[in-house]
Structure 1
């Protein structure tokens, strides 16, 4: 292995027994650029692009209780071209991160704490949090866009070098939520945000040249906590979910989420460039959904897949005290019981119908983004380690036949969200690879693995070993190399 860059970032975090500051979630503080890494198998020559994963990776000792969603953003990237791979990891230099680096301590309390514990006003829907930019990551208009789950400024980086390019200039007052969507067909970025102030939710479109070209309210009856959106070829889909802050406590500036099963799940379907007057609301059974998958139009209907939670507010994990036990359960897919599910919205009749697609506890799915907004056949979910926010394997779904195939990562091996990587000159929807980072606790190492999407049960076609064991992480993306270079070098 050749280390081209190595830099330890100052930090005050102490060794901890906290379940999300230790073990597979132990934070990293060294930034690397590495080439000529050890490889088991052969790096495919028929892919060209970069895999990027975001990570909640705190640098400072927390104020009060720590929640894994509080950590600073750290991007891990593996680029591929002509059978050669290069690895980088960098903290996202948010304004909050830089302020805490200067102070040498935490300034903002996390979501499990009171507003009064933060030493300065914060960002986002909750109002006192640090915009850690640690949740999601996409590549749009040739640049990385990293985002925070409770809305923040959005940060731009170079996808290959991870050079920082500051905040996103078009960010609206209420910020950008995690999970903006890139339509590869048009090059547009579709996004939403939410807040505690009327109209509570907005939706916008940024064109392929990174210019904000559309922004409109999509009002909800009060403050809501959406986490994701979806789109079809002509429509965008936003939600009003019956899990949100208790309105009475919110008047006291206290943020306690409650599930209201007497309320329906509501879907706001808006033409891509529509206004609030164009939104059509559809009702469905009450649930909470973290992540939506593909949506597409078929006749009079829009079809949407996602992960329906059977128990959106689970009780504490067995044997644990109430507060930490609830925190552990709220991020464990076996506790909230997320199942692959399908919704159909009839634009002619206004009717919603629903269908369960898989009875297993699954989440964090991916699919071939070249099919986003159009009918697709294959979807790839992760399975979870019971009781933990850790990914233990993959499931490939054939949505046409109902068949599925599984790949366990192995004992004490935990992966990340696994984007689909099309082969160069791919001949079919699943002609490509799945890519993920694996943290191996038994071998005390981490690796990047590529899996043949047409035969996931065969296991990795190659394993590329990283400079050190990295913290477990969540959302990730794959970006096509020629598209990136067309923006950045005039190819």
Structure 2
């Protein structure tokens, strides 16, 4: 393995026992380029051709207040497969906030868990007091990687091969862009949304395959809400108004406290893809962090996602007291997301719901060629109880109801595992899942390639350093990198 190291970033972090700044969440600040990666087991499929990009949170400076793992600066880690070989690189996303703190040599913004008055400069996004770190999500559209922030930020463009930061997207509106913009491979469009604390509280936008914004319209809500994801079908963009949002009384005092508003249903808006009035549907109260896919079935629009049974859990009983609340909201076994299906009937206005699995599952992926279309296979992650760490995968056949699991050994934790289709494949599940693995026992990281048909590991590739855990990832085939 040949490794070239980049100049060090400026950091002021000291020793800490914070559970999300240690272990698998230990910040990683080294930027490298590595070629001829070592294959630890198996062989890289010779027709696996493209890049896997994973966005992670890596705090660079000592926090001004109480650190939340979603406050960290974005680093994108990339592994590039071509001709049976692999190379790796990683880079910080050079956001305005990152560059300002590099110049100052310290943190300038507080975080998600802090109250008003902590930040030293005005903040970004729906929350208003945060740094836009572009560290939540990443997609590839029009030949560029787009890194986004969950509280709505500027949408930072990166070269998906070199990882050079190209600056904020020119099409991003003043209220920003939320994480989980969606790319429709059938049209080449990118669909996005944002949310804010001022009316109309939610907007929907479309960017065409050339990178030009073609639509930006309000989707009015009753007040400030906290949508995290959206879905789309061939003709509809699907948004949500869920009963888990900021307490209005505390918000007037500048305190961003989330609670479940009992007696308030979930609502879903189906908006025509090309713009227009939303069709609203009510459903059982819940919070949905992530949706899988959506498609049309006659008069019905079918949406699959992860229904939280307990979206505002009690503090984690066996966690250190000062971290118990934070850790519960990061622990899937506390808020209990379950694979779920909603059917919205446009003819009758009725909603029918169906539980697809009773296991705690989240962070689902599927073959993106079927985005917005009827599909058969879904791939979810399982999580370590008490932690925001993935310890395995579950494949579902949504037609037969069958499922298959892959469980990682103790101390090994995965990242979100997008589907990489085999070139020329006919079957929907003919391809691979690609994931980065953190091995806490060995103190190393690697890339794992899984056969998506059998859910068996086919290859392990060593990375040049141990990386930090994070949130979202994307696979882009070679053709997508050319836009």
TM-score category (smaller protein): over 0.9
Deviations 1:411-437 (A, max 9, x none): 100000000000111121000000000
Q: What's the counterpart of residue 381 of structure 1? A: 380
Q: What's the counterpart of residue 473 of structure 1? A: 470
1:323 CA drift (Å): 5.3
Q: What's the counterpart of residue 484 of structure 1? A: 481
Q: What's the counterpart of residue 230 of structure 2? A: 229
Q: What's the counterpart of residue 2 of structure 1? A: 2
1:461 aligned to 452, 458, 463, which one? 458
Q: What's the counterpart of residue 190 of structure 1? A: 191
1:326 CA drift (Å): 1.4
Q: What's the counterpart of residue 242 of structure 2? A: 241
1:322 CA drift (Å): 5.5
Q: What's the counterpart of residue 264 of structure 2? A: 263
For the aligned residues, what is the CA RMSD?
A: 0.9
Greater mean deviation of Cα atoms: 222-231 or 158-167? 158-167
Deviations 1:173-207 (A, max 9, x none): 10000000000111100000000000000000000
The TM-score, its normalising length taken from structure 1, stands at 0.97
1:162 CA drift (Å): 0.3
1:308 CA drift (Å): 0.3
After TM superposition, the structure 1 = structure 2 runs for residues 430-469 of structure 1, keeping only pairs within 5 Å, are 430-456=429-455, 458=456, 460-469=457-466
Partners of 1:78 and 1:69 in 2: how far apart? 23
Partners of 1:222 and 1:292 in 2: how far apart? 22
- Gapped runs of 5+ residues in structure 1? none
Deviations 1:382-417 (A, max 9, x none): 000000000000000000000000001111000000
Q: What is the SS of the residue equivalent to 1:252?
A: coil
Partners of 1:321 and 1:53 in 2: how far apart? 30
Counterpart contact for 2:307–2:340, Cα < 8 Å: yes
User: For residues 245 and 322 of structure 1, do their structure 2 counterparts lie closer, same or farther at Cα, with a shift above 3 Å needed?
Assistant: farther
1:321 CA drift (Å): 5.7
Greater mean deviation of Cα atoms: 287-296 or 12-21? 12-21
Deviations 1:421-475 (A, max 9, x none): 001111210000000000001111100111000011x3x2111101111111220
Q: What's the counterpart of residue 169 of structure 1? A: 170
Q: What is the SS of the residue equivalent to 1:30?
A: coil
Deviations 1:133-162 (A, max 9, x none): 000000000000000000000100010110
Partners of 2:24 and 2:336 in 1: how far apart? 23
Partners of 1:261 and 1:430 in 2: how far apart? 41
Aligned length: 482
Q: What is the SS of the residue equivalent to 1:210?
A: coil
1:56 CA drift (Å): 0.8
Partners of 1:99 and 1:326 in 2: how far apart? 31
Q: What is the SS of the residue equivalent to 2:470?
A: coil
Partners of 1:323 and 1:16 in 2: how far apart? 13
After TM superposition, the structure 1 = structure 2 runs for residues 415-426 of structure 1, keeping only pairs within 5 Å, are 415-426=414-425
Structure 1 stretches of at least 4 aligned residues deviating more than 3 Å after TM superposition: 4-7, 319-323
After TM superposition, the structure 1 = structure 2 runs for residues 26-175 of structure 1, keeping only pairs within 5 Å, are 26-39=26-39, 40-175=41-176
Partners of 1:184 and 1:11 in 2: how far apart? 40
The TM-score, its normalising length taken from structure 2, stands at 0.99
- Gapped runs of 5+ residues in structure 2? none
Q: What is the SS of the residue equivalent to 1:474?
A: strand
Counterpart contact for 2:141–2:480, Cα < 8 Å: no
Partners of 2:2 and 2:445 in 1: how far apart? 16
Q: What is the SS of the residue equivalent to 2:381?
A: strand
Partners of 1:379 and 1:68 in 2: how far apart? 27
Partners of 1:426 and 1:15 in 2: how far apart? 50
Q: What is the SS of the residue equivalent to 1:76?
A: strand
Q: What's the counterpart of residue 319 of structure 1? A: 318
Q: What's the counterpart of residue 401 of structure 2? A: 402
Q: What's the counterpart of residue 251 of structure 2? A: 250
Counterpart contact for 1:316–1:323, Cα < 8 Å: no
Partners of 2:444 and 2:58 in 1: how far apart? 17
Counterpart contact for 1:384–1:390, Cα < 8 Å: yes
1:115 CA drift (Å): 2.3
1:330 CA drift (Å): 0.4
Counterpart contact for 1:28–1:471, Cα < 8 Å: yes
Partners of 1:407 and 1:474 in 2: how far apart? 20
Partners of 2:104 and 2:285 in 1: how far apart? 45
1:261 CA drift (Å): 2.7
